[in-house]
Amino acid sequence: MRILMVCLGNICRSPLAEGILLNAIRNKKLNWTVDSAGTSGWHAGEYPDQRSIRIAAQNGIDITYQRSRKIVPEDFENFDLILAMDKQNLSDLKTYFGTNENNDEKIRHITEFSTLHSGKDIPDPYYDDNGFEKVYRMLENCINGLIEIADDH
């Protein structure tokens, strides 16, 4: 299973999603590939946001190896699942890859896999210093659900 996590800047939410999933698949010894990217290239080449680095570290996860990048057309072939953090990301991804509800199962909203947050967005924490803890907990629940659903892949 090859999974790409996507948000707007690829510095706050999707780096956390990548780190949490990578940690989970290592613990479960699953042979999955994980990466993350942004729908924008605004922060391309940058480290994750310090606030994401901190909340990850508090939970025993290192995300400092990551560097922001923008999505590229080949991502559509190179990943089995492309997971959006919010509805705007989802819509931007479908526009970018030229897909729609009728021809694509690959591009999904990450909260689809959550037992607690289905239908909600992972809120953009960029302008909310206190939002990172909530984002982390939401992503953890989504990723637990994802691992269970996809366990046999």
The residues assigned a catalytic role are 7, 13, 124
Rule CB under 6 A: say whether 11 interacts with ligand 4NP: yes
Under DSSP, the state recorded for 38 is E
Q: Among 86, 92, 118, 82, which residue's Cα sits nearest to residue 39?
A: 92
Q: Is 102 or 127 the residue whose CB approaches ligand 4NP more closely? A: 127
Q: Residue 147: what are its φ and ψ, rounded to 5°?
A: -65, -40
Q: Is 11 or 56 the residue whose CB approaches ligand 4NP more closely? A: 11
Q: Which of 46, 126, 141, 150 binds ligand 4NP (CB under 6 A)?
A: 126
Categorise residue 37: left if φ over 0, alpha if ψ from -120 to 50, beta otherwise: beta
Per-residue contact flags (x/-) with ligand 4NP for residues 52 to 71, judged by CB under 6 A: --------------------
Side-chain-side CA neighbours of residue 110 (13 Å): 32
Rule CB under 6 A: say whether 18 interacts with ligand 4NP: no
Q: Which of 3, 4, 5, 8 binds ligand 4NP (CB under 6 A)?
A: 8
The helix/strand/coil state of 56 is helix
Footprint of ligand 4NP (CB under 6 A): 7-13, 42, 124, 126
